[in-house]
Structure formats: C-alpha cells, structure tokens
Amino acid sequence: MAKIEKDEIVRRLTSVFRDVFDDETIQLSEEMTAKDIDTWDSLMHITLVVSVEKEFGVKLNAGEIGKLKNVGEMLSLLAERASL
C-alpha cells in the first residue's frame, strides 16, 4: 500500500478534529495540544483516538498515544503507520 502524503493526513485529521469537537473553525498546527481546545478532556481524547484510528485504518497502542506531545507528533506517527 502507498503511504499517505502529509497534506492528505492534515486534511483528514482536521476533519476528524472538527467532527469530534463539533467545531468547524479548528485549524490544526503542529504545536497544538489539548490545552488549545477547551473541550479536549480525557473522555474526548479517547473519542479522538478512536476516530483517528477509524479514519486512518490504524491501531494505536497506549504507549504510542502516551508519548504524543502535540498534533505534530500525531501527524508523524500517522505518516509512518497509515496507508491508503
């Protein structure tokens, strides 16, 4: 399977964030963290991870998720793991 281009990952991840947080104005940046979205709490984090896994056809383990410090690191992980 071919790897997904970064622009495509950003587009799809933005769509997931907007859907999960019900906010069409969200613009992702690589530095973005949970502190940047008021409704991003632990429950929403689980919802986000499940939605990301579903969108990109990957299974992220707790260790991988726990190491993510920001959206940029999530993008990098998805670029490594996600396929078309």
Count of domains forming the chain: 1
| Higher pLDDT among residues 12 and 4, named by residue | 12
- Predicted confidence (pLDDT) per residue in 25-71, tens digit: 999 999 999 999 999 999 999 999 999 999 999 999 999 999 999 99
Nearest-angstrom CA–CA distance, 46 and 84: 23
Residue 3 has pLDDT above 80, yes or no: no
Please report, for the domain that includes residue 36, its CATH number: 1.10.1200.10
- Domain assignment present for residue 63? The answer is yes
How far is Cα of residue 7 from the mean position of the Cα atoms in its chain?
13
Instruction: Provide the residue range defining the domain that includes 23.
Output: 6-81
Give the predicted TM-score (pTM) of the model.
0.90
- Domain assignment present for residue 28? The answer is yes
